[in-house]
Chain A
Amino acid sequence: MKPAAFTYQRPTTLTQALAAYAAAPEAKVLAGGQSLIPLMSMRLTSVPELIDINGIEELSHIHVERGQGVRFGAIVRHAQLHAHAEAREVQPLLHAALSHVAHATIRNRGTTVGSIVHADASGEMPMIMSLLGGTLTVASVEGRREITAEDLFIGPLETSLQAGEIAVEAFVPALPARHGVAFDEIARRHGDYALCGVGAIVGLDADGAIEHVRAGYVSVSETPAVVDLTGCFPDGELTEQGLKDAAELALTHLEPEADIHASAEYRAQLARTLTTRVVAAAHADAGARANAEVTA
């Protein structure tokens, strides 16, 4: 389990990094390394050149803009974002989902942006980007551009980043007023990839009626799946039937597959169960927040 030979550079500015990447299109960008390094060590991938961006100070920011959202740079660790009180206040789903990302030791080193561009549909953060409608900022020697989550995830472990582009920052919008969120997942062991994970966001109108319901899914689709479940609650009320319908509707958008840990049927069952649990929890959260907002 030793990687094959590779060259390594550690630029200290983004400009240097982009120039290096432009000059070496076969290179890989190293951030937290929690996926890349094991793949290299097991020789499942061969990387001729590594560009380590961990020394680029300008990528280490977390900017919270109240009423707008949270921006975080490419070398922000899961643990930093998870512990950021203001970020949690502005978009609580970030914190809720980050709690489920692997183990503390992996969160200490792994980066959230790195996890997003790894584009693993069994990772929590790509789904959160999709569910919240986040955007990713990428840069190359040609300049910068923003990619919406919708346009970002184009296949399993595949993004729309072009050659020479480095993801530099991600943005997730703030939780609007009268909205609530919840996240839960079921894994074989604490910290493992989820067999199925669900995040939900529920919006209420001024009277407390359900205005919209969306849920995002982990590990039951090839790319992060987000399903609009609003139609299951036609009277604006959270009913048992509505939750049941939501679970079945969600399944029509998902493609749970079997592996050595779970059958497709079992994953479907988890998607059902978690949909009802998480949507209900997000609805309760929305109600609590709406009340708190009125009181405030």
Chain B
Amino acid sequence: MTTKLMGEPVARVEDDRLVTGKGRYADDLMPGALEMAVLRSPHAHARIRSIDVDAVLDVPGVHAVYTYEDLEGPMAEPLPLLIPHPALTHGRTQYALAKDEVNYVGEAIAVVVADNRYLAEDAVSRIEVEYDFLPPVVGIDAARAAEHLVHEDVPGNVAAVMEQSFGDAEAAIASAPHRLSLDLTVERSACMPMEGRGTVARWDEDLNRMSVWTSTQTSTGVRAAVATKLGLDLGQVDVVTPDVGGGFGVKIVHPWPEELLVPMAAKALRRPVKFTEDRREHFISSAHERGQQQHIEVGFDDEGRVLGMSVKFWHDNGAYTPYGLIVPIITSTQLLGPYKLPNYKVVFESLYTNTVIVTPYRGAGRPQGVYAMERTMDAIAAELGMDRTVVRENNFIQPDDFPYAHGELTFQDGRPLIYDSGNYPEMMRKARDLVDWPSFEKFRDEARKEGRKVGIGIACYVEGTGVGPYEGGHVHIETSGKVKVSTGLTTQGQGHQTAFAQIVADELGVRFEDVEVVTGDTRRSPYSVGTFASRAAVMSGSAIALAARNARAKALRLAADALEADVDDLEIVDGIVRVKGAPDSQIALGTLAVLSNPLRYAFDEASRAATQFAVGDPSKPPVAEDDEPGLEGKDYYSPPRSTFASGIHAVIVETDPETAEIRILKYAVVHDCGTLINPRIVEGQVHGGVAQGVGGALYERMAYDETGQLQNASFMDFLMPYVTEVPESIEIDHLETPSPLNPLGIKGAGEAGVIPSSAVFAAAIEDAEGIPITAMPISPSELYALRLAHSSTTSHERTAS
């Protein structure tokens, strides 16, 4: 029997290639293509009075310059609002090139196509634009104050107000034995993939066909957008995703202006055209996330059980809303975490500011929701003088409560918010063990004697993963016995090749090395959605498993004929179908692939066996009426709703009493993503997520000044953590509560590592310092300021009393 691969820490087959520089990214493709550079608005808010491109036209090497005036048909319409929602009453999207007005520093105004990027940038610097300045709205305070408007037809800068509730939160809070309120803020950060955006396009005039290679999380989405905007039939457009150097959410947004302008120029100029975003452009023209202000009211009993919770938050959506309300909807629903609340109300306002758009970044609104809930749990524990883990346990949904519905709430996929499975009490037991929670006070006492300050934090989360609508899988067994697998969603380095090959090897009974996986190629998989919301393993993993089962069923049927055996007596081991207990009676999958495709022509020795004078019952059609040629399986997986992964993080920090530097002493993660396909990959995802979480909690912010200029638009001043800033080791324990919603019991794992970071670090620093931490991220300079403010307040209070 072949060794089972599901659940094994198989080494990633991608890595040799990727870490030795053999990856092929968009910018590596088609050397010699013309290159595009973009003139971006230097102002956060202005009306464009005029654009003068005359000085560009005579620059040698320049092939074209485009402004809004040059856009035709659907290209001249605003970019799509990808996910409409009834509450999004004032949704706005930008134009591919600004029409009349710019609303953030970085908004595209004109593009130049030249022999190379150097010349294109030279030419861009010669374009002259006259602006009438408008007052910029920067930050949530300014958006709420609404003294100035981002869009003059959007009153109060409010894109949407949305409310969801169950029970009667206000009444429950009013009658609760204990009440608290909290005001919290989270600042902006961004995905910051190593590879920025990039698109290459070639128009084939002879075949009347557009080929686009783009660094995206959805090739089918880009395909539909390019076809629609350029007036082409879907069948004329191929979109292929080459290696992608990280996405983390920003590349699910589509079409970016450049993703349309590049193919548009390629068609007009009949030359391949390329756009490769540089780092400054990524900072000022891609997407950010996370910025929110939150106000929480909570009522609870003597055991810390929440009786009612009412949350209002203000979400900074930037200048436009191409991705709808997904991020704040996720915050408002995933805020509930692993807790059983009898009464809950959440209201959010999604607000415009003159800054870069806000769309999902790994975690996608969950870090903010978890921050709100977990800081509330900590506050309840502090108020009651209870252990923070006990307060949480007293609120947990219990294992026999599943499936558990949070009232009538609707999740981001438009489906009811129903948790499929989980075991939160067991997870808490594991977390407490992993971080040695009971011994911490002893450690704190010892540290205190040495003049050291240490603190511990813990935070729980539940993550809705694997959202629909669907993904597909195609498994094709070649006559060589090699197995070619295709799924339409794209890969940004997650290890799909490895994980999907593990699934196919197990389901089909073939060797892992014989399975090759292709992702994100619309020529192979025209029907697909994309890679986001920790959905690839759940969605494509399930679809591929179903497809492999179909291929297996066909192989067994063909083999049963060939071996004159009963299907039930057959097994497939290492690509050979054999009769159980009669190993001599066997046939290779490759041979079955030959036989599955009745031939008129023989091309080699193997295919002779399938030609018309060699096989077949002359009395029957070579392909039976209900059959198809070829040995392949295809299927789609479409879940009724999301599956909910969960986890707990704990961290121990030390803060320097003099310099307020924050050092991580221990980081522990308990994680439940259902059935594990590959624990090594899952742990890699957790490590990467924790690293990004450390960044978001302790280092990264978007430092906009009051005029809307991003002051830290480079890796020198935007402080992504280096390996030297992330914990040296991350202790991980797994729990596996399979999902009942899909054939393999999988839940998503991609985003989990980053979700509770702000909550858990705020808790640990608060614990070390004895000062409430209500704004994240926090820097040593800010912690120092808090210390000064706190000591002056407490000394003031002392004086007053």
A residues contacting B by CB (< 8 A) are 1-5, 42-43, 186, 188-192, 195, 260-263, 265-266, 269-270, 273
Distance, CA A203 to CA B661, complexed state (A): 31
The verdict on B699 contacting chain A, using a C-beta distance below 8 Å, is yes
Distance, CA A5 to CA B61, complexed state (A): 13
- Min CB gap A38→B, angstroms: 8
- Min CB gap B289→A, angstroms: 19
Distance, CA A191 to CA B715, complexed state (A): 12
- Contact partner, B659, options A3, A43, A186, A191, Cβ 8 Å: A186
Residues of B within 8 A of A186 (CB): 659, 661, 780
CB atoms of A262 and B724 under 8 A apart: no
- Listed stretches B116-124, B416-424, B615-623; interface member: B116-124
Known: A2-B117, A261-B779, A262-B779. A190 touches B658 (CB 8 A): no
- Min CB gap B188→A, angstroms: 13
Q: Sample 27 A-B pairs with CB under 8 A, ordered by A number.
A: A1-B278, A1-B280, A2-B118, A2-B121, A3-B118, A4-B121, A5-B122, A42-B714, A43-B121, A186-B659, A188-B779, A189-B699, A189-B719, A189-B721, A189-B722, A189-B724, A190-B722, A190-B724, A192-B719, A195-B781, A261-B779, A262-B780, A263-B781, A265-B784, A266-B781, A269-B784, A273-B658
Residue of chain B at shortest CB distance from A270: B659
- Min CB gap B704→A, angstroms: 10
Residue of chain A at shortest CB distance from B118: A2
3 pairs of A and B residues whose beta carbons are closest in the complex: A190-B724, A266-B781, A262-B781
B interface, over-half SS: loop
Residues of B within 8 A of A190 (CB): 722, 724-725
Distance, CA A189 to CA B721, complexed state (A): 7
- Contact partner, B711, options A42, A191, A260, A265, Cβ 8 Å: A260
Residue of chain A at shortest CB distance from B725: A189
CB atoms of B779 and A43 under 8 A apart: no
The verdict on B628 contacting chain A, using a C-beta distance below 8 Å, is no
New A-B contacts (5) at CB < 8 Å, excluding given A2-B118, A3-B118, A190-B722: A43-B125, A189-B699, A261-B779, A265-B788, A266-B781
B residues contacting A by CB (< 8 A) are 117-118, 121-122, 125, 278-280, 658-661, 699, 703, 711-712, 714, 716-717, 719, 721-722, 724-725, 779-781, 784-785, 788
CB atoms of A191 and B722 under 8 A apart: yes
Residues of B within 8 A of A192 (CB): 716, 719
Residues of B within 8 A of A273 (CB): 658-659
CB atoms of A260 and B712 under 8 A apart: yes
- Min CB gap A250→B, angstroms: 15
Residue of chain B at shortest CB distance from A103: B722
Known: A2-B121, A265-B785, A269-B784. A188 touches B659 (CB 8 A): no
Residues of A within 8 A of B658 (CB): 269, 273
- Contact partner, A269, options B659, B712, B716, B719, Cβ 8 Å: B659
Residues of A within 8 A of B117 (CB): 2
Residues of B within 8 A of A42 (CB): 280, 714
Residues of B within 8 A of A5 (CB): 118, 122
Distance, CA A269 to CA B279, complexed state (A): 34
- Min CB gap B339→A, angstroms: 35
Distance, CA A43 to CA B714, complexed state (A): 14
CB atoms of B780 and A260 under 8 A apart: no
Distance, CA A240 to CA B161, complexed state (A): 59
Residues of B within 8 A of A263 (CB): 781, 784-785
- Min CB gap A46→B, angstroms: 10
- Min CB gap A135→B, angstroms: 31
Distance, CA A203 to CA B498, complexed state (A): 63
Residues of B within 8 A of A189 (CB): 699, 719, 721-722, 724-725
Residue of chain A at shortest CB distance from B121: A2
Known: A266-B781, A266-B784. A4 touches B122 (CB 8 A): yes
Distance, CA A160 to CA B261, complexed state (A): 50
Known: A262-B781, A266-B785. A188 touches B121 (CB 8 A): no
CB atoms of B719 and A188 under 8 A apart: yes
Residues of A within 8 A of B280 (CB): 1, 42
Distance, CA A172 to CA B781, complexed state (A): 34
CB atoms of B780 and A266 under 8 A apart: yes
Residues of A within 8 A of B125 (CB): 4, 43
Distance, CA A32 to CA B123, complexed state (A): 29
Residue of chain A at shortest CB distance from B713: A42
Residues of B within 8 A of A270 (CB): 659
Residue of chain B at shortest CB distance from A274: B659
Distance, CA A235 to CA B677, complexed state (A): 70
- Min CB gap A284→B, angstroms: 19
Residues of B within 8 A of A43 (CB): 121, 125
Residues of B within 8 A of A262 (CB): 779-781
**A43, A190, A265, A269 pick with most chain B CB within 10 angstroms:** A269
- Min CB gap B195→A, angstroms: 14
CB atoms of B699 and A188 under 8 A apart: yes
Residue of chain A at shortest CB distance from B695: A189
- Min CB gap B719→A, angstroms: 5
- Min CB gap B8→A, angstroms: 36
Distance, CA A3 to CA B119, complexed state (A): 10
Residues of A within 8 A of B785 (CB): 263, 265-266
Distance, CA A260 to CA B777, complexed state (A): 13
- Min CB gap B273→A, angstroms: 17
Residue of chain B at shortest CB distance from A188: B719
Residues of A within 8 A of B721 (CB): 189
**A190, A263, A266 pick with most chain B CB within 10 angstroms:** A266
Residues of B within 8 A of A3 (CB): 118
Residues of A within 8 A of B780 (CB): 186, 188, 262, 266
Distance, CA A78 to CA B535, complexed state (A): 47
Known: A1-B279, A266-B784. A260 touches B725 (CB 8 A): no
- Min CB gap A272→B, angstroms: 8
Residues of B within 8 A of A4 (CB): 118, 121-122, 125
Distance, CA A188 to CA B280, complexed state (A): 21
- Min CB gap A198→B, angstroms: 12
CB atoms of A260 and B717 under 8 A apart: yes
Residue of chain A at shortest CB distance from B120: A2
- Min CB gap B651→A, angstroms: 18
Distance, CA A42 to CA B278, complexed state (A): 10
Distance, CA A1 to CA B196, complexed state (A): 13
Residues of A within 8 A of B788 (CB): 265
Residue of chain B at shortest CB distance from A193: B716
Distance, CA A190 to CA B722, complexed state (A): 8
Residue of chain B at shortest CB distance from A263: B781
- Min CB gap B59→A, angstroms: 11
Distance, CA A177 to CA B658, complexed state (A): 33
**A4, A190, A261 pick with most chain B CB within 10 angstroms:** A261
Distance, CA A243 to CA B711, complexed state (A): 37
Residue of chain B at shortest CB distance from A273: B658
Distance, CA A50 to CA B712, complexed state (A): 28
Residues of B within 8 A of A1 (CB): 278-280
Distance, CA A270 to CA B661, complexed state (A): 10
Distance, CA A43 to CA B724, complexed state (A): 31
